[in-house]
């Protein structure tokens, strides 16, 4: 009887040991699978990060290629006017790369109204520029934006940029914006990107899309200098506002139709065009607002490399000496 008891006890111990071993094997299997999954995830993250870094480098390379092309065309004397640089900036391009592609486009950035020119520098800050605000309002009115809406928008933008806390008539300062959900404040400095316009008072998507084609943001309070040789008929309001109260969009459209095949060669030739001959007063103000070449170019690049997608938006500025500077660069789709 005792020997039977001993045998039964040994069987229990063997069973317990077997169960313990099986549990340990199961735990180790789960741990191994978790470790394998962690390694696999870490490897995947590393691969994705490397792909994004490479895509970003491709985007920067595309930016440098665009800058070099603009500079080379100017140095060859095919610049400024027609047709080489103008045609090049109207055509999207796409380059194949190993395991992906680079698609991009460079646009003439001269023909727009610089929103930062709605203010001037004063006493270490910014105040609204009444003359610029009148030009802004009339320009939008010529583009079929209701005048009262155009007037208010100019005030709202100036309030967004200026250094004081007093809202203009129909404008808004911090008390309005901090009451929003979520609340935010005006920057009190020059705009850095057009997307800021979407944050301003009474700006909805429909209104934004109506005014956006005529506007831009440059890192200066200086007004935009229009390139008469690349101005398109739909951009006529930008020029009409500088030619006099009796010059409308239809007159500017005729002027652009009279533009020589290779562009105007001087401001005198522009003013001698049949549509405006004798109708426009020549002064230093006009001479500073119309040019035969562009100083700014906007570019958009989309790089697809493996599973990474990078969007880059940049603004390039070219100086009179031919030096090109990247004045802004953003990753992602801002608008």
**Residue 171: inside a domain, yes or no?**
yes
Residues 119 and 176 in one domain: yes
Per the structure block, which two tokens stand in for 112? 């727009």
Q: What is the pLDDT of residues 123-141, one digit of tens each?
A: 889 999 999 999 999 999 9
Give the residue ranges of DSSP H helices in 76-118.
Answer: 84-89
Take residue 262 and report the two structure tokens written for it. Answer: 């290779």
Helix (H, G, I), strand (E, B) or coil at 299: strand
Whether 260 is covered by a domain: the verdict is yes
Which pLDDT score, from 0 to 100, does residue 237 have?
Answer: 97
pTM: 0.80
User: Which residues face 185 on adjacent strands?
Assistant: none
Per-residue pLDDT, 292: 87
Same domain, 176 and 193: yes
Name residues whose C-beta falls within 8 Å of residue 54's C-beta, 6 or more positions apart in sequence.
Answer: 305, 308
Look up residue 24 and give its two tokens: 């340990």
The reply to whether 299 and 257 lie within a common domain is no
Residues 116 and 105 in one domain: no
Q: What pLDDT, on a 0 to 100 scale, did the predictor assign at position 75?
A: 75
Whole-number Å distance between alpha carbons of 299 and 33? 47
Structural domain contains residue 289: no
Asked if 248 and 146 count as a contact pair (C-beta separation under 8 A), the reply is no
Q: Give the residue numbers spanning the domain of 117.
A: 112-224
State whether 248 and 214 are in the same domain.
no
179-116-177 Cα angle (round to 5): 0
Is 100 in the same domain as 168?
no
51 within some domain = yes
Please provide the distance, in angstroms rounded to a whole number, between the alpha carbons at the two ends of the chain: 89
Looking at residue 311, its pLDDT comes to 93
pLDDT for 168-181, tens place per residue? 999 999 999 999 99
- Total domains in the chain come to 3
pLDDT at 334: 46
8-state DSSP, 181: S
* CATH number of the structural domain spanning residue 74: 3.30.1300.30
Per the domain annotation, does 58 fall within a domain? yes
Give pLDDT, residue 6.
Answer: 55
pLDDT value of residue 83: 47
**What integer pLDDT is reported at residue 219 of this predicted model?**
92
Q: Kindly state whether residue 67 falls inside one of the protein's structural domains.
A: yes
- Domain membership of residue 34 (yes or no) is yes
Shared domain for 11 and 85, answered yes or no, is yes
Is residue 194 within 8 A of residue 313, CB to CB? The reply is no
192 shares a domain with 124: yes
Contact by Cβ (8 Å): 233, 250: no
Same domain, residue pair 98 and 85: yes
- pLDDT at residue 288, rounded to an integer: 87
DSSP assignment letter at 272: T
pLDDT along the chain (335 residues), means of 10: 55 67 72 69 66 89 88 67 58 86 89 97 93 96 95 97 94 95 94 94 94 95 93 95 91 94 88 91 80 89 90 90 88 63
Other CB atoms within 10 Å distance of the CB of residue 35: 10
Q: Which residue reads 């229990």 in tokens? A: 12
């Amino acid at each position: 009887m005792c020997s039977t008891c001993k045998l039964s006890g040994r069987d229990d111990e063997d069973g317990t040991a077997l169960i313990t071993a099986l549990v340990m094997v199961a735990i180790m299997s789960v741990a191994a699978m978790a470790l394998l999954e962690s390694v696999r995830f870490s490897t995947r993250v590393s691969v994705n990060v490397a792909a994004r870094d490479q895509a970003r480098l491709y985007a920067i390379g595309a930016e440098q290629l665009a800058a070099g092309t603009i500079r080379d065309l100017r140095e060859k004397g095919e610049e400024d006017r027609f047709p080489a640089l103008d045609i090049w900036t109207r055509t999207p391009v796409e380059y194949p790369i190993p395991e992906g592609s680079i698609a991009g486009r460079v646009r003439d950035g001269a023909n727009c109204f610089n929103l930062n020119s709605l203010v001037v520098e004063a006493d270490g800050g910014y105040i609204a520029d009444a003359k610029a605000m009148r030009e802004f309002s009339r320009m939008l009115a010529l583009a079929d934006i209701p005048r009262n809406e155009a007037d208010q928008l100019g005030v709202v933008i100036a309030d967004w940029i200026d250094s004081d806390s007093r809202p203009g008539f129909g404008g808004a300062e911090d008390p309005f914006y901090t009451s929003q959900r979520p609340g935010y404040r005006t920057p009190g400095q020059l705009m850095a990107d057009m997307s800021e316009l979407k944050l301003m008072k009474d700006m909805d998507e429909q209104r934004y899309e109506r005014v956006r084609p005529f506007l831009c943001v440059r890192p200066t309070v200086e007004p935009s200098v229009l390139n008469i040789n690349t101005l398109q008929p739909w951009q006529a309001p930008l020029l009409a506002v500088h030619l006099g109260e009796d010059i409308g969009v239809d007159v500017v459209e005729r002027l652009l139709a009279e533009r020589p095949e290779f562009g105007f060669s001087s401001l005198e030739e522009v003013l001698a065009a049949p549509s405006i001959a004798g109708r426009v007063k020549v002064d230093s103000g006009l001479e500073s607002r119309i040019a035969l070449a562009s100083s700014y170019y906007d570019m958009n690049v989309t790089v697809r490399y493996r599973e990474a997608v990078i969007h880059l938006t940049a603004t390039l500025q070219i100086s009179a000496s031919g030096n090109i500077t990247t004045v802004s660069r953003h990753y992602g789709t801002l608008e």
